[in-house]
Amino acid sequence: MTSRERVLKAFAHEEPDRVPINYRANPGIDARLKKHFGLAPNDHEGLRNVLGVDFAGVGAPYTGPKLHADVPGRRVDMWGVRTRYVEHESGGYWDFCDFPLREAAVEEALKWPMPSPDDFDYAKARELASSRGDYCVYAGSSGLGCVINRIGKLMGMENVLMGLLTDDPVAVTLVERKQKIELAIAERTLEVCRGVVDFLWMGEDLSTQRGPMISLELYRKHIRPWHAEFVQLAKAYGLPVMFHSCGSCSWVFDDLIDIGIDAVDTLQPEATEMSPEYLKVSFGDRLAFHGCIPTGGNTAFGTSEDIRHECRRTLEIMMPGGGYCFAPSHQLQDNTPTENAVAMYEAAKRYGEY
């Protein structure tokens, strides 16, 4: 089977030749894996081939004007989101900071520079998708269509949560502006990439490790309608949709199914009601799964044998009847021992055949 056939078969709850495999990693462990396999630091394709990866993402690069001024010691993206580099024992991380709209009035929210859908190279997106060969190609990302995280990066998490709860016009204005722009970019990307993109990836972090971060009522009022628009867009192009959410997020799965989500991503097994057994029994006939190999558990803190055993157990639970794609529950973190990451993907190949 090609990677495209393999993934789409799993999404359709059918058994492919082997479990589809995906890979996401932070720079530190990514560099160590390339060194381990004797690959050049920039040989991304070589690493994907060694690991047996079936997925490839594409997007339209931004080609418009610089929208926000540089800030010393910060990275500033086209939305005005700022990050700073924070070092830690195993490397470092670009962490969100400053939150420039945390005290904004409505007028500032309306005038805040945001990218125009006209300023993206959609032809480049098609070129990239067409060059992916037999990979299963997705448009979007785990953050496409996200309300809480994306607006929280501009005004602070507490402010966006309180803003949604109180119908604050600043939060509502920012959400509406951002979502309309992202929806337009996604539509133009899918139109130009018709026939060479296989599914849409979107997401929203809705939970802590223990349970919901917001109520179902609030989700249905302010967030679900936007999610539904992205799903409807993908369905208009005949594409399945995979939805990312960290933490204990199974409480929202019935709503996701109702709006047309086909697969769910991340699946942190250590979170409440997110174990492989619970997910397979409760939703396995209605959702496909992508993830479930914990980046904060045995992958980082166990032995190679521990993670090998956990991967085998997860595969034995998730694989029957199709509907499972093997992947880390988040990006592999830099505190992951190289040998554990290698053991993880060896287990996928060894135990993932049907």
What integer pLDDT is reported at residue 90 of this predicted model?
81
Measured distance CA(148)–CA(171) in Å, rounded:
10
What letter would DSSP give residue 252?
A: G
Q: Which residues contact 52 (CB under 8 A, 6 or more apart)?
A: 21, 345, 348, 349
By three-state DSSP, how is residue 75 classified? strand
CA-to-CA separations, 268 to 24, 210, 245, 347, in angstroms, rounded: 15, 11, 9, 19
Stretches in the chain below the pLDDT threshold 50? none
Residues 110-143: pLDDT tens digits? 999 999 999 999 999 999 999 999 999 999 999 9
CA-to-CA separations, 284 to 172, 222, 256, 322, in angstroms, rounded: 35, 28, 14, 9
Contact 7, 54 (CB under 8 A): yes
Q: Amino acid identity, residue 350?
A: R
Task: Match 């799993």 to its residue by tokens.
Answer: 10
Quick one: three-class SS letters along 119-130? CECHHHHHHHHH
Q: Record the pTM.
A: 0.97
Measured distance CA(287)–CA(11) in Å, rounded:
8
Q: Does domain 3-65+101-351 sit in CATH 3.20.20.210?
A: yes
| Cross-sheet strand order for the sheet of 324-328 | 55-58, 136-140, 199-203, 241-245, 263-266, 288-293, 324-328
